């Protein structure tokens, strides 16, 4: 029982992380001039919304109650995200913006790996967490490909 409560606590941390990041991505998309970056941020926000649904279900499967953070204005987000978002909103350099988005993805990959390593989960839950982490890794890869493409285009001009 204690293990189930601990697992639920960690899942709730991931739920909060994804909830805050989803809102941050969507708010930033609305505030940024570059339409391509805004679309990418909306896509990332959508992905996080899907993560939230799966984590909510996983928490309920554990017999727990999902704990959603309170939404305040301005959005209060921890782990350095506010600073990164400020940098994104104040820049028009897409390579820099995507580098900053990559930092967010890296931090979240590390958090997922920490949670994955913490317990032996049932097969379904472990699969869900690993798929979400893999999605973050694939997005990070896409960010790097896009950054390289933007860099090459700058040099070619």
List of the chain residues with pLDDT < 50: 72-77
pLDDT at 131: 98
Q: Give 52-86 pLDDT, tens digit per residue.
A: 999 999 999 999 999 998 764 444 445 567 777 77
CATH superfamily of 2-156: Ferritin, core subunit, four-helix bundle (1.20.1260.10)
- In whole angstroms, what is the distance from residue 157 CA to residue 59 CA? 51
Provide the residue ranges of all domains of the chain, joining segments of one domain with +.
2-156
Percent of the chain at pLDDT exceeding 90: 61
- Give the CA diameter of the chain: 62
């Amino acid at each position: 029982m204690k293990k189930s409560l601990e697992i639920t606590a960690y899942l709730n941390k991931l739920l909060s992380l994804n909830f805050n990041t989803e809102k941050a991505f969507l708010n930033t998309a609305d505030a940024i001039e570059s339409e391509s970056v805004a679309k990418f941020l909306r896509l990332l926000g959508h992905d996080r919304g899907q993560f939230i649904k799966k984590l909510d279900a996983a928490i309920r499967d554990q017999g727990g109650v999902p704990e959603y953070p309170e939404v305040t204005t301005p959005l209060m987000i921890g782990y350095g995200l506010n600073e990164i978002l400020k940098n994104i909103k104040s820049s028009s350099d897409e390579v820099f913006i995507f580098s900053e988005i990559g930092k967010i993805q890296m931090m979240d990959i590390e958090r997922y790996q920490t949670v994955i390593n913490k317990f032996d989960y049932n097969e379904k839950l472990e699969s869900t967490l690993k798929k979400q982490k893999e999605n973050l890794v694939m997005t990070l890869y896409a960010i790097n490909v896009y950054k390289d493409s933007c860099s090459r285009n700058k040099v070619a001009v």
